[in-house]
Every structure is written in C-alpha cells, then in structure tokens.
Amino acid sequence: MNKILNLMMKAGVGLVGTGLLFTQFTFVVDGGEKAIMFDSLTGKGVRKTILGEGMHFKIPFIYVYNPLSY
C-alpha cells in the first residue's frame, strides 16, 4: 500500500510540475484581438509578427502586449 501511495505522490508532483511549466510557455489571444511580442531576451525590441487569436507558444522573457486589453 505504501508503494502505491508513493507512486501516486510522484505522479501527482510530476503532473503539477508539467502543468506549471506548460503555463510559462503558452499564452492565449482572445477572439477578435491581436497581440505583438516584445523580445527582451535578445534586446531587439518589438517583433514584426502580429499574432492572431488562439493559443501560441513563447519563450519566457518575451512579453506579449495586447493593446486592446488595457
């Protein structure tokens, strides 16, 4: 019984860790909105691509700016 609980605890910690990591690498642009990305990692400033609605992947330290949400 102890082995089963230990395995369940490890699986739960792994799932929570994966979920937290996943939220750092994705973001959602709501329907009818557009977003631009600011790259502070390389210092190049605002990227030229405009992102449409939906789920997008990003590298941490690249900030997403949505002018309609402010």
Q: How many independent structural domains does the chain possess?
A: 1
Q: What is the pLDDT of residue 10?
A: 92
Instruction: Give the pTM.
Output: 0.55
Compute the distance between CA of residue 43 and CA of residue 30 in angstroms, rounded to an integer.
27
Residue 11's pLDDT is: 94
Residue 61's pLDDT is: 63
Mind listing the pLDDT tens digit of every residue in the chain (70 residues)? 889 999 999 999 999 988 887 788 888 888 888 888 777 666 677 778 888 899 888 776 666 666 665 5
| Nearest partner of 33 among 19, 53, 5, judged by Cα | 53
pLDDT for residue 19: 85
Please state, as a whole number, how many other Cβ atoms lie within 10 Å of the Cβ of residue 35: 20
Range of 50's domain? 2-69
